[in-house]
Amino acid sequence: MRRLALTDEDVAGRKLVLSWFRDAGLEVTLDRIGNVRARRSGLDDSLAPVVIGSHVDSVATAGRFDGCLGVLGGLEVVRTLNDQEVRTLRPIELAIWTEEEGCRFGTDMLGSAVAAGRITEAQARSLTDAGGISVGAELDRHGLVGPVAVPVTPPAHYLECHIEQGPILEAGGYEIGVVTGVQAILWHRLTIRGRAAHAGTTPDALRHSATLAAALVTVKLDEMVKSGRYGALLANVGRFDTAPNLVNIVASEAVITIDLRNPEEDAIQRASADLLAYCREVEQRTGVTIASEITAHTPPVQFYDEVMDEVEATANRFGLSNRRIMSGAGHDAGEMAAICPTGMVFVPGKYDGISHNPREYSTPKACADGINVLFQCAVSFANRS
Amino acid sequence: MRRLALTDEDVAGRKLVLSWFRDAGLEVTLDRIGNVRARRSGLDDSLAPVVIGSHVDSVATAGRFDGCLGVLGGLEVVRTLNDQEVRTLRPIELAIWTEEEGCRFGTDMLGSAVAAGRITEAQARSLTDAGGISVGAELDRHGLVGPVAVPVTPPAHYLECHIEQGPILEAGGYEIGVVTGVQAILWHRLTIRGRAAHAGTTPDALRHSATLAAALVTVKLDEMVKSGRYGALLANVGRFDTAPNLVNIVASEAVITIDLRNPEEDAIQRASADLLAYCREVEQRTGVTIASEITAHTPPVQFYDEVMDEVEATANRFGLSNRRIMSGAGHDAGEMAAICPTGMVFVPGKYDGISHNPREYSTPKACADGINVLFQCAVSFANRS
């Protein structure tokens, strides 16, 4: 339930999965940023592989399906090909991407972004967690710096099966989601500096509360979401730290993170600009200073018609009800779409699709449906010359 | 700058001060809650003593004057009497009170409240800090449980010299504040429970963000203060903790503390009631639950005309400009006023009286003025049969 990227728990989970990969006869290698590649040979190993991937790192209060379904589903595809003694024209490779969640080092899809070339290896290694420990130091400590160069050689196709993490498929009674792309994601970190003061004797007019300023921004974001002026905007203030964080002292500093999502890049940029403009208002009103930093930004991603059509046709052939759906969450597939034909298969989650929560759940049937579609698509693409 | 009550740093500070007390010939004892009493004999030790006291514990980002001025000022009174070989009719005792700030265990004026009988020894010992360590465990660990029973035998008078911790004296050019009492203080701790969810995929209508709820309460408090509908209300949200406190997860829990101050008990009670009523609105609006707990409440305290008149007359005799002023901060004198004639001497602080901050400062002249007045009042009361 808690395997923050590159912690001992995350690495223990990786090792267990890699032992299963090797049992399945896969040849395991690592790239420079710790991404796993596990290869099943094809009839012609000179051809670019079809890659099936996802992640096994988790948020701090995770569910059991986010990421793991795609990795273990890929393993099931390989095991099934082995059991049936089926050879494919192209190699099939399973990928496990490093720090997909971004919860520890502040940038999500980190490993796949480095593999796809959006972020350099040096930039990624220099990122640090709340304790000041760097990605590079953790990769070195765990011996996860592998020989495969980044950016990686583009695969023939990239496929990923994932739980929806939302309520749409379950509410509509759909068994499969044909993912059309990933909505834009923009993360801000605001560092607010006020002035520590005695909470009993400092007149209100002389207070510069960093906590009040952070609260005003938090409430404003909720108003922006509900205003409808930014389309399907979502916003979350996830981290909210204040100092000195004591009952009778006006806070001198607050650090908050803001997670914005929107299917439209222009709408998320308008929301971001209006938010920062409001920060200037808050500075005027409360006498604090607000420094903002963009810690993550991924524009909307459009997946490939070729892959969407294959997923849709396969689901229909199996008689699985399906609809096209845009992903609300970021995924490694969004990074891979920059370098090769890419698509995703969504399966419904229970309880309004609750995710990043221990209650996250997809039924065995829902998971099997998704992996059956993944299998057929992978084999189909792996047999194309 | 950081001696949170009953930490090793606080106890190290106490030991240093006690060594100075003993060098001044004082007989040092402890009561059951770790309050220090250091006695200078009078001509008639059967008479109740005049007690001069304050505290040496601090907030996490303290100044050097809050509390220490009153304790070291009392020591200077005793040293001066020793130097001049002056005997007083009544004994004079110096008091150091335990956990005045309330920053570690959540209840301020804890030691003096136990000494005065407002809080029982058992209640006080059972209070715990953020790490679950109890007052009782820390008192036992440091060997601070003394023989003096609580509640204590009432002194003849209680006097305390303290920095104002506000801007009023400095702004008006006053050298001495004749303290008329202490405004009411009411602390709430709110525990807000929402639901953890994925920040990218959970529709806004299905979110129950504990952080948003806490922010709404924080902004509402600021509106209440500025509305003027509660007289001279002050409010501070000092602690603001959320869980899991990660960028892309809607917070499932938030704990915030609220510090309300008001010269009028009825006004602070109205503010408290309206705040809790607003919490019910926030529950409806955001789908969270908000549990509230009062962690501290001291009604307004009125000091004694007899002591105020003596402080005022002494300041006038020394040609020190002075005014009557109500204390914005809680003080141990507020507790002692429940069991004996009590008063305080304020000295001005620089920089708008900034306090609970390392910039806190009173000039040597300001401190000397206050302690001179304290000396004269103490000797005057100590010579009354």
| Domain spans, chain B | 8-182+301-382, 184-298
Region of B99 (left: φ > 0; alpha: ψ -120 to 50; beta: rest) is left
Q: Which fold has domain B184-298?
A: Alpha-Beta Plaits (3.30.70)
Structure confidence at residue A352 as a pLDDT band (50, 70, 90): confident
Burial (CB count <10 Å: 0-12, 13-18, 19+), residue A137: middle
Q: Is the peptide bond before B151 cis (omega within 30 degrees of 0)?
A: yes
More confident residue, A103 or B44: B44
Tell me: pLDDT of A61 over 90: no
Give, to the nearest 10 degrees, the angle between helix B265-286 and helix B210-227. 150
User: Which residue, B284, B33, B51, B162, is CA-closest to A201?
Assistant: B162
pLDDT for the residue numbered B352:
85
pLDDT for the residue numbered B60:
87
pLDDT for the residue numbered A106:
85
pLDDT for the residue numbered B69:
98
| Ligand-binding site membership of B55 (annotated) | yes
pLDDT for the residue numbered A46:
97
pLDDT for the residue numbered A296:
87
Query: Both tokens of residue B81?
Result: 């009497």
Tell me: pLDDT of A248 over 90: no
User: Which residue, A131, A238, A243, A255, is CA-closest to A185?
Assistant: A238
Nearest to A102 among B209, B241, B248 (CB): B248
Distance from CA of B257 to the nearest CA of A (A): 6
Q: Which CATH number fits domain A8-182+301-382: 1.10.1060.10, 3.20.20.70, 3.40.630.10, 3.40.50.2000?
A: 3.40.630.10
Cross-chain Cβ contact B234/A200 below 8 Å: yes
Q: Is the Cβ–Cβ distance between A249 and A197 less than 8 Å?
A: yes
* Rg of chain B over all Cα atoms, to the nearest angstrom: 22
SS (H, E, C) chain B: CCCCCCCHHHHHHHHHHHHHHHHCCCEEEEECCCCEEEEECCCCCCCCCEEEEECCCCCCCCCCCCCHHHHHHHHHHHHHHHHCCCCCCCCEEEEECCCCCCCCCCCCCHHHHHHHCCCCHHHHHHCECCCCCEHHHHHHHHCCCCCECCCCCCCCEEEEEEECCCCHHHHHCCCEEEEEEECEEEEEEEEEECECEECCCCCHHHCECHHHHHHHHHHHHHHHHHHCCCCCCEEEEEEEEEECCCCCEECCEEEEEEEEEECCHHHHHHHHHHHHHHHHHHHHHHCCEEEEEEEEEECCEECCHHHHHHHHHHHHHCCCCEEEEEECCCCHHHHHCCCCCEEEEEECCCCCCCCCCCCCCCCHHHHHHHHHHHHHHHHHHHCCC
A45: Cβ contacts below 8 Å, ≥ 6 apart = A91
B contacts of A357 (beta carbons < 8 Å): 195-198, 252
Which pTM value belongs to this model? 0.79
The H or E element spanning position A345 is strand A342-347
pLDDT for the residue numbered B296:
87
Work out the average pLDDT over A364-369: 98
Cross-chain Cβ contact A259/B200 below 8 Å: yes
What share of chain A has pLDDT > 70, as a percent?
100
- Per-residue pLDDT reduced to its tens digit, B369-381: 999 999 999 999 9
Structure confidence at residue A356 as a pLDDT band (50, 70, 90): confident
Low-confidence ranges of chain B (pLDDT < 50): none
The β-bridge partners of A150 are: none
Cross-chain Cβ contact A206/B59 below 8 Å: no
Cross-chain Cβ contact B248/A237 below 8 Å: no
Q: What is the rounded CA–CA span in Å between residue A40 and residue A37?
A: 10
Give, to the nearest 10 degrees, the angle between helix B305-317 and helix B364-382. 120
* Residue corresponding to tokens 């000295």: B347
Cross-chain Cβ contact A198/B225 below 8 Å: no
- Per-residue pLDDT reduced to its tens digit, A185-205: 999 999 999 998 889 988 899
Question: Which of B101, B246, B331 should one mutate to test binding to chain A, selecting the residue with the greatest count of A CBs within 10 A?
Answer: B246
B contacts of A330 (beta carbons < 8 Å): 200
Q: What is the rounded CA–CA span in Å between residue B204 and residue A149?
A: 41
The H or E element spanning position A138 is helix A135-142
Nearest to B246 among A195, A234, A239 (CB): A239
Q: Give the sheet arrangement for strand B253-262, strand by strand.
A: B234-243, B253-262, B184-193, B289-298
Give, to the nearest 10 degrees, the angle between helix A68-83 and helix A8-23. 10
Query: Both tokens of residue B348?
Result: 């001005």
- Please state, in angstroms and as integers, the Cα–Cα distance from residue A38 to each residue in A18, A112, A152, A159, A162, following that order: 8, 15, 14, 15, 19
pLDDT for the residue numbered A62:
87
Tell me: pLDDT of A75 over 90: yes
pLDDT for the residue numbered B250:
94
Tell me: pLDDT of A338 over 90: yes
pLDDT for the residue numbered A376:
98
